[in-house]
Chain A
Amino acid sequence: MFVRFLFAMHDWKHGTDGRLIASGDICRLWDVKIPRMSPQTIQVLEEFSERPTAWHYGYELSRETGLKSGTLYPILMRLAKYGLLETKWVTTEKGVPPRHTYRLTPKGVEVLRGELLARARQRVGARKPALSGGAA
């Protein structure tokens, strides 16, 4: 299932209606799709977010997130499919196989930021009644 989101690229200055959109704001754009944000997908994105500009290896991501290859690679494939991840082949040393490496695209960074923001809002929203109840 896909959720249609509107997001502003961090380098965009204007929305479709000409209004100025602050960098990192989440708004609606009907012609862009992002994959379903499962907890595992968020986990992978969070792993990327620690060093957003660095390239990551598949096995390294698997170890750090604790996800098996059968879970990790479909997520990577989906992220790459939706342009949130860029891939590259690198040769580390002679005689060993090249490695497939991954890095978030600017769009991926923005989606991750939006997701984290939404989660933070949800957490705050969930805590509010308890706090107000305590105040009363």
Chain B
Amino acid sequence: MSGRFNPRRLARAMLQGAMRIAPAHAAEWGQAMLCELHYVEGNWTALAWAVGGAGVLMKQALFSLFIPGPASQMASSDRQFFAKEKSMRKSTLIAAAACLAASLLFFAAPAFRQAFALSLRQWHALVGSLYGGGESPYPGTDYLKMADRARKNHDAEGLAFVAAHGWGTPNAGAVADEAVQIDPNLTWIYAVAGARNWSQPEFDQRIGKLEEYDPQNATPHLIDAQRVQYQDFARGGFRPGKYADDPAWQNAMAAAFASPKLDLYADQLQQLDYNVSRRYGFDDPYEVESQYFLSNGISPGFGNSMDYAKSLLNSGDALAARGDSAGALKQYWLVVHFGEMMWPPQHRTYDVLRIGIFASVFLEEPYKHLAAFYSKRADREQAEFFNYLVDTTKQARLSNSAAARQFFAGTPAEQWNANILGASGIALFLCASVLLVCAVVTLARSLRAQPRNLQSGPLTNLLGGASAVGVLVSSSALYLSYRPYDELVRAYLRDGDPSHLQTLIVFLSFLNYDSYPPKVGTLYNLRDFPVYFWAATIVLCIFAVIFVAVRYVSNLRRSTAAA
């Protein structure tokens, strides 16, 4: 029957197939195994013979991929031996040089330089964690230099930017003064600088100026309350103080809650960031991200607001218990009024989520108190209305929380790209190190050789060639994984639309290397790669030392035995 399975035929086909991929020097041996197949007794034995033979040929094919040249040639004399090495070295050298040149060409692309800088930050974070440095792993812009440049150009916005962004910049208040002196319309920058540097006493007067500039806004009062809280905290030896009893804190919070508006200057700040970024050519993704998140810095005293709201609600309850309904309602409505002021402008997704969650939490309580108040007074209609508002704010909080989680969860693409970028950075570093070691070894051998020409052994060739290819592959991966986010930064700088940055923020959040050593159970986390990398490097080095020592002792013994 023609369709019947014939193991011998399969064996022949298998060997013939393997011979097609076998290198030239193994062809004769492939032919030998194929011819010998004819004499092997038994079909299944023949198949086993072919499987073994095909394995040998495939191994040779794989080996020849890494070490070019006729590996089967016998080094019968010095001349032949070195002739073989020379051909291997030459081809490897050309391939390695080509890979290296191609990798270096990547540096011409700004996106690659950014990606490279991002990949280096994981080392920065690791070094910082090892040495316990409190320094930020993201050094960012040199704000002092930028301030000098802005002064020379009389650039008020540039100075305001430094005052707003320069965390820990000495005299941030003085820089803000310079900006306001040039352009008084930038007085709002005191809010941002003050909110970020509220521990500095020299901001007292500046917050006063801000109150004059924007008298209806609650923000200056919130900053005041925060400053009082800090001073109380500092006086108490940095233990939780009783700031709530401090009349200065109470006055500041009362003024904030009585204010007709709450403006965090997000729009002005966004416009300032955009103008300055374009003018000064910022394209650092972390810088752009921090601009996006700066509104975190101008949400001063939200914790204070909660504390004050609680005290108002308690006071309202007490008044209600004493039968002072008007006084109680006044207290409750003050809290509702402040909560309603918190609803943010709708153009920043993250702000909407962040402040929206807070506002809904904030509003839930006074609505509950109002519902209870009317319920006790048997006003069913009002009680139901406020219960409905409690449910609505609760739903808003839950949906905002889910949206915030979704916002930061991102898509698998962001996580993968961040992981690839981190891993590529490590691979690039590793391959470049191996390549450097190979180059040094080759150079050292060449200096000892007579006549002096480039000398490298097969292992050096193999490692050098493989690491050069590794440098090229990791550079390409680094570039490709970051390229889409570079486009987003450029799109933002082009048209000023912050919605471009949302994907970038999620991508960067996956790149934040800030927890070392990694916790047990998170071994899969590629963000912890540097730790594993160094652990593996140390283990490999120990193995290498043991291997060299064992080899040395073994050779020594053989030499002694042979002598």
Give CA–CA (A15, B558) in the complex, Å. 20
Contacts A73-B29, A83-B76; A57 near B36 (Cβ below 8 A): yes
Does B563 count as interface, using CB distance less than 8 angstroms? yes
Q: Which of A16-24, A44-52, A96-104 contacts B (4 or more CB under 8 A)?
A: A96-104
CB of B561 closer than 8 Å to a CB of A = yes
A31 to B52, CA, bound (A): 34
Interface class of chain B by DSSP: helix
Contact A33 B75 (CB under 8 A): yes
Report yes or no: A73 in contact with B33, Cβ–Cβ below 8 A: yes
User: Interface size of B by Cβ–Cβ distance < 8 Å?
Assistant: 35
> Is A82 positioned at the interface, with any CB of B under 8 Å from its CB?
yes
| Beta-carbon contact of A99 and B35 below 8 Å | yes
CB under 8 Å from chain B, chain A span 26-59: 26-28, 31, 33, 57-59
A96 CB to closest chain B CB, in angstroms?
A: 6
Residues of A within 8 A of B559 (CB): 28
A-facing residues in B53-77 (Cβ within 8 Å) = 53, 55-56, 59, 72-77
Determine if A74 is an interface residue (Cβ-Cβ < 8 Å).
Answer: yes
Task: For A120, list chain B residues within 8 Å (CB).
Answer: none
| Interface residue from A26, A57, A73, A80 paired with B53 (Cβ < 8 Å) | A73
Q: A5-B562, A27-B562, A58-B33 are in contact. Are A99 and B39 (CB under 8 A)?
A: yes
Q: Which residue of A1, A28, A59 is within 8 Å of B563 (Cβ)? A: A28
Does B313 make an interface contact (CB < 8 A)? no
> For the complex, what is the distance from the CA of A121 to the CA of B55, rounded to whole Å?
37
Distance between Cα atoms of A33 and B84 in the complex (Å): 15
Specify which chain B residues have a CB less than 8 angstroms from the CB of A121 in the assembled complex: 561
With an 8 A cutoff between CB atoms, is A116 at the interface?
Answer: no
Measured CB to CB, the closest approach of chain A to B363, in angstroms, equals 76
Whether a CB of chain A sits under 8 angstroms from the CB of B104 is no
Partner of B78, one of A31, A72, A74, A96: A31
Tell me whether B562 and A6 are in contact (CB under 8 A): yes
Q: How far is the CA of A82 from the CA of B71 in the complex (A)?
A: 11
Q: Cβ of A65 < 8 Å from any Cβ of B?
A: no
Write out the residue numbers on chain A whose beta carbons fall within 8 Å of the beta carbon of B48. Answer: 68-69
| A83 B74 Cβ-Cβ under 8 A | yes
Complex Cα distance, B70 from A70, in Å, reads 21
Q: Does A81 lie at the interface of the complex (its beta carbon under 8 Å from any beta carbon of B)?
A: yes
Chain A's closest residue to B52 (CB) is A70
A135 within 8 A of B: no
B53 adjacent to A69 (CB under 8 Å): yes
Contacting residues, chain A, for B34 (C-beta < 8 A): 97
> Contact partner of B31 among A6, A70, A80, A100, CB < 8 A?
A100
Nearest B-chain residue to A74, judged by Cβ: B56
Task: Tell me if A126 counts as interface (CB < 8 A to partner B).
Answer: no
Bound CA span A33–B72, Å: 14
**CA gap between A97 and B16 in the complex, in Å:** 14
What chain A residues lie within 8 Å of B76 (beta carbons)? 83
Tell me, yes or no, whether B38 is within 8 Å of chain A by CB. Answer: yes
Nearest B residue to A121, CB-CB: B561
Q: Mark B2-36, 1 if CB is under 8 A from A, else 0.
A: 00000000000000000000000010110111111
Nearest-neighbor residue (CB-CB) of A27 within chain B: B562
**How many whole Å from A114's CB to the nearest CB in chain B?**
9
Find chain A residues with CB under 8 A from B59 CB.
74
Cβ of B39 and Cβ of A71 under 8 Å apart? no
Q: Is the CB of B562 within 8 A of A68?
A: no
Contacting pair B38 A82 (CB below 8 A): no
**A3 on interface, CB distance cutoff 8 Å:** yes
Are B563 and A69 in contact, with the CB atoms below 8 A? Answer: no
21 intermolecular pairs with C-beta atoms under 8 Å apart: A27-B562, A57-B39, A59-B39, A69-B33, A69-B48, A69-B50, A70-B52, A70-B53, A73-B29, A73-B53, A74-B56, A74-B59, A76-B29, A77-B26, A81-B73, A87-B28, A99-B32, A99-B35, A100-B31, A100-B36, A121-B561
- Residues of B bordering A, CB below 8 Å: 26, 28-29, 31-36, 38-40, 48-53, 55-56, 59, 72-78, 551, 555, 558-559, 561-563
